[in-house]
Structures are given as structure tokens and as C-alpha cells.
Amino acid sequence: MDSGIGLLAAAAAVRRLRPDADLVISSDPDGMPWGPRTSEGITERALAVARAAAALEPDALIIACNTASVHALPAIRAALEPAIPVIGTVPAIKPAAAAREPFAIWATPATTGSPYQRGLIREFADGVPVTEVPCPGLAEAVEHADDAAIDRAVAAAAALTPPEVRTVVLGCTHYELVAERIRTALRPQGGPLTFFGSAEPVAAQGLRRANILPAPDAAQVGGLTVLLSGRVGTLPDVALAYPEGRLLQAVSPAH
């Protein structure tokens, strides 16, 4: 679940790990973007999206949204667990800080500077130079596959990122869909740059919590159910602008 197509990265990661898994992807086109909303507003929308997915009785629910995880994870867990394990997505600050080198965190304005993110920095990156980079408009631009708006938002965030930074935490699942464009903006001449995203770790954790082992050679292909603000629909056309969306369409017969 996510406000929009930011869930594609995690959904595609689950599909790669378990091609036979039946996937339910639940988003909120009626209410997105969630970033500018109050914490209470985010929680209200996220709960509705989570409950729509929970009605189909999944084995686990991945909140593939950093903003929703920051603001609504306790409420969603209180509503759905223990019947349905709930896996949140948090900025990958712990692995990024392991090298004890300066790094940046790109995130939505709602996540940047939040007590939750600041707590992760204190816990895992104490003493490490960390630059929090708000990226207003980037998630929305990715959501609409608006190339010009993506370039503007990426360029603005790149300008706030210290040139010596070699590690970047992608603190919004939408950003993982344009990781290579971010890489080009930060390193136009090439050079080492490490990204820490969340799609692969949360997909693996989701399977673990559902007691499902990865089986990349599974011959059977699972189905795909798409929920749009609680309504059964189809994969949005904009999702096909990204490799992850095309993967889901190519290998997932719709239910």
C-alpha cells in the first residue's frame, strides 16, 4: 500500500522473489499526495487504504510509503495485527551510517525533520554528518511521470546535497523509481555514489513475516489485484512509465 505508485518498487521486488505470489496493491489516487497533509490526515487516509487491502485477507501488508510509516504505522498495526502482519518502510539510515561517512537523506517535506526521522539519525548516525534534503514536488512529479517536473525537483534537491556526499538514502519510495536520474543529477561526470532504498528489504521482510520463502524459479505466476481508493481497478497507465510497472503488467494476470 501507498498513496500512489511509489509502491511499485516494493511490489516488483516481491514479484521477483516470489513470482507465484498473488499481489494486492492498494493506493489512494483520490487522496494523494499525502505529504502535505497533517499527521492526522495522513493516518486517516492510510488507514482507509490499509483496510481496503486487509479486506482481501492478505498474508502480510507492506506499507510501501515512508510518510505513511512515519505517521500511521502504529495506528495501522493496532487496527490489523495480529491477524495481518504489518511491515513499515523507514528511511535506510542504519545501513547508510554503517560506514561512518557523510550521507544525505532525500525525503518528502513531511518526513524530513520529523521526530521519527530525527530519532533514527540520533540512534544510528550519532556523530556522522547527515544532511536532510527535503524534496518538495518530487513524489508528485514521479506519480504523474512528469519528466520536466521530475528534472526540476531533482535538480533542486541536488543543489541542497553537499558535493562531498557519496551516499544517499532515498527516503521516499517514489524516488526509487527515478534513482538513475537522481544519480545523474548528483554525479553528472560519473563517480562513486551509493543509494540506500527500501524496496528489497521490505519485500524480504514481508515474505518472512508471512512465513513464505523466496522461490525465484517458481513456474506459476501469481495474480495482481489493484485497489484505487478502495475500488477494484487496473494498473494505472502512468505506472507503465517505469520498469517496475511494466514488470508487474508483463508477468501478472489481473484478477
Confidence band for 116, pLDDT divided at 50, 70 and 90:
confident
User: What are 73-101's pLDDT values in tens digits?
Assistant: 999 999 999 999 999 998 899 999 999 99
Domains and CATH numbers, the chain: 5-89+200-251 (3.40.50.1860), 93-196 (3.40.50.1860)
Instruction: Give me the catalytic one of 172, 185, 199, 227.
Output: 172
Instruction: Give me the catalytic one of 65, 87, 133, 135.
Output: 65
Active site (annotated) includes residue 135: no
Beta strands in 171-252 (DSSP E): 194-196, 224-228, 231-233
Confidence band for 17, pLDDT divided at 50, 70 and 90:
very high
Active site (annotated) includes residue 172: yes
pLDDT of 253: 52
Residues ≥6 apart with Cβ < 8 Å to 227:
24, 25, 26, 27, 49, 52, 53, 233
Distance CA 174, CA 171 (A): 9
Confidence check: pLDDT of 69 > 60: yes
pLDDT of 12: 95
pLDDT of 91: 87
How many C-beta atoms lie closer than 10 Å to residue 233's C-beta?
14
pLDDT of 30: 93
**Count of residues for the chain?**
255
Confidence band for 111, pLDDT divided at 50, 70 and 90:
confident
Confidence check: pLDDT of 39 > 60: yes
